[in-house]
Amino acid sequence: MICAATRAGSPEQALADMEEARRAGAGLCELRLDYMRDPDLPRLLSARPLPVLATVRPEWEGGRFEGNEEERLALLGEACRCGAEYVDFESRAGGRFDPGGAKLILSYHDFEGTPADIEGTASRMRARGPFVVKVACLARGAADLARLVRLQRSLGPGSAVVAMGEVGEPLRVLYGRYGGWLTYASVRAGSETAPGQFTVEDLVRRYRVPSIDAGTELYGLVRDDGLPAWGPDLFNEAFRSIGRNARCVRLRRDGEPALKELAEAMGLRGVWAGGGAGDFLRGAAGQFRSWTGRPLPEDVLRGYSGKP
């Protein structure tokens, strides 16, 4: 499921964001109440066009809420009483939170890196019995991303592992392939609530995330100076053109051992470095044939032949 995170400052903007996200293909909205002035929850939640995950992220967990903990929990409780379907509660907050009729997302965030004991942290969170365990960490390199992919695989249903930052982009796209419950996206470019978020439209149109399943073949395109930003798009359009359930994602060059570890963790069927800019289309055609046994469709090739 794609969850559109909105950081709207008013109920009116939040409702407009939710409607925009719904039209783009999101199935859930994370309502970041820590960004909002005077949320007016009864009116806001009664008019919501999407199911809502209510979040009041405190400053000590990377959010914007400046009040005390009593005020924060009161706002979360009001969101639950007003009909929010889900509520986010930080695992490092003191005590426990009663979500009432809402389902509890127990969360952990690290915006600096991926801790050495993240697996143990996730295990302890699951033991508390939430509806979903959410772990979001900054992936600083391929080794971090490999660990987070393996963590998502091991946790399976009832979990959401987020790899933040540019390096973590593949897991935001392929979360469902590894058993993740949801992925977070921004409503539009420039409105991200965490580093590395795609827009809802990117996930739906560029990567066709809703149709990724256990049988989806995975391939990686390694970033280098000659790799155009649209490189994965060419492969993904070609896969779609021939009816192949496959996706290509970008990987950061991070040394051969780390890249090999990541490819194994992700279950990639192939990895290609892309070559120089001038030779990219010629090389892509050969690589597509190597991966699929089929020629790269001419109409797809023509669509990218004039791009810088």
Active-site annotation holds for 109: yes
Nearest residue to 193 via CA among 12, 50, 46, 14: 14
Query: Would the CA dihedral through 119, 124, 125, 131 be positive or negative?
Result: positive
Sole residue written with tokens 């053109």: 241
Residue 156, judged by CB atoms within 10 A of its CB (0-12, 13-18, 19+), counts as exposed
- Tell me the residue ranges of DSSP E strands in 22-172: 28-32, 52-55, 86-90, 103-110, 132-138, 159-164
CA distance 183 to 201: 13
List 103, 134, 260, 307, catalytic entry: 134
List 103, 109, 260, 307, catalytic entry: 109
CA distance 248 to 181: 21
127-148 residues labelled b (16+ CB within 10 A) or e (exposed): eeebebbbbbbbbbbbbbbbbb
Vertex 122: Cα angle to 219 and 6 (nearest 5) = 70
88-117 residues labelled b (16+ CB within 10 A) or e (exposed): bbbbebeeebebeebebbbbbbbeeebeee
CB count within 10 Å of CB 207 equals 20
Structure tokens at 64: 């914007």
Active site residues: 109, 134
